[in-house]
């Protein structure tokens, strides 16, 4: 039997991403949170001062950009290399089948590859 999983491919993608873009430090995340807070206070001040619509819109756009940057940093900080594990065992909930799955080497399985190339394929043997 062969184990079927998408976790290995996903783990390789995560490792490549972490090499290309290392996860942010806690200081980076805290700085981004402070920037969001600062931009939010600036928007509140402009609204309370009854500033012009253009100024408020520009300030809100800056706030949204800062929030997007913070969420991207937080998401990137959650990336962990390797196959996801829980209690020392592989955590299959993120896999395509959401549990451990296997394929058997059977006549039917082998015929599937031939069926793509040949129009008529026959198999003999017990089927389940």
Neighbouring C-beta atoms of residue 104, cutoff 10 Å = 9
Please determine, for residue 120, whether its predicted confidence score (pLDDT) is greater than 60. Answer: yes
Retrieve residue 50's tokens.
């009854």
> Does the pLDDT at position 128 exceed 70?
no
Average confidence (pLDDT) over 7-24: 80
Residue 91 backbone phi and psi in degrees, to 5 = -95, 100
Give me the mean pLDDT over the 33-39 stretch.
Answer: 92
Q: Which residue has the tokens 């929030």?
A: 67
Q: Is the pLDDT of residue 3 over 80?
A: no
DSSP string for residues in 62-124: HHHHHHHHHHHHHHHHT--SSS-EETTEE-GGGSSSSS-EEE---HHHHHHHHHHH-S-----
pLDDT score of 65 more than 90:
yes
CA atoms within 13 A on the CB side of 118: 9
126 or 83, higher pLDDT: 83
Judge whether residue 1 has pLDDT over 60. no
More confident position, 47 or 112: 47
Three-state SS for 7? helix
Q: 107 near 126, Cβ under 8 Å?
A: no
pLDDT (0 to 100) of residue 107: 67
């Amino acid at each position: 039997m062969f184990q079927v999983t998408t976790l290995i491919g996903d783990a390789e993608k995560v490792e490549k991403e972490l090499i290309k873009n290392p996860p942010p430090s806690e200081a980076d995340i805290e700085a981004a949170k402070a920037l969001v807070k600062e931009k939010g206070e600036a928007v509140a001040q402009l609204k309370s001062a009854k500033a012009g619509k253009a100024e408020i819109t520009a300030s809100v756009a800056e706030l949204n950009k800062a929030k997007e940057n913070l969420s991207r940093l937080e998401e990137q900080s959650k990336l962990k290399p390797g196959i996801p594990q829980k209690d020392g065992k592989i955590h299959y909930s993120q896999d395509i089948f959401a549990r451990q799955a296997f394929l058997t080497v059977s006549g039917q399985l082998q015929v599937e590859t031939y069926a793509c190339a040949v129009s008529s394929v026959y198999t003999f043997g017990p089927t389940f």
